Amino acid sequence: MEGWIKLHRKFLDWEWYNDNNAKVLYLHLLLTCNYEDKKWQGIVIQRGQKVTSIGHLAEETGLTQQQVRTSLQKLKKSKNITSKSTNKFTLITIENYDLYQSYNDFATNKITNEQQTNNNNIKKIKNKKIYKLSDFNQNELEGLYEN
């Protein structure tokens, strides 16, 4: 996996913040869900979704299967996630994923970083003195060509 997620300080006020199991599970889902649409076994798993199982989530988070079930129920009840289960897997969707993890912020960061680089290059250019040929006498010009 690569990249990063945004996590606002308001997360400290989230209703499940003091419930360590729900918090660990939700953060794990944020970190491991798709950040772009991908095809898996003939279905498109969208951005903000994850194909998994109770057993896998328990293994990945260190929680028991019962703790995962309870935490999933809490997250569903508070509309942080929705899920669809089959006999083989569970598809979990993080609600409002695009609102909190928007592409616009990635684009804005890239543009901002490029602007900062360009501004630094402009500053370097401004600090260099630009000479005109008329600033040099004939001997100085000949010396430049010899070097």
For residue 139, the one-letter residue type is N
The DSSP element (H or E) to which 52 belongs, if any, is strand 49-52
> What value does the mean pLDDT of the chain take?
83
Q: Where are the domains of the chain?
A: 9-100, 103-146
* CATH 1.10.3720.10 holds for 9-100: no
Could you write out the DSSP letters of every residue in 78-105? TTSEEEEE-SS-EEEEETTHHHHS-HHH
Give the model confidence (pLDDT) of 72-125 as tens digits. 999 999 999 999 999 889 999 999 998 888 766 554 555 555 666 555 555 555
Share of the chain above pLDDT 70, in %: 69
Tell me the whole-structure pTM to 2 decimals: 0.69
pLDDT exceeds 70 at position 65: yes
pLDDT exceeds 80 at position 24: yes
- Tokens at 145, concatenated: 């060509």
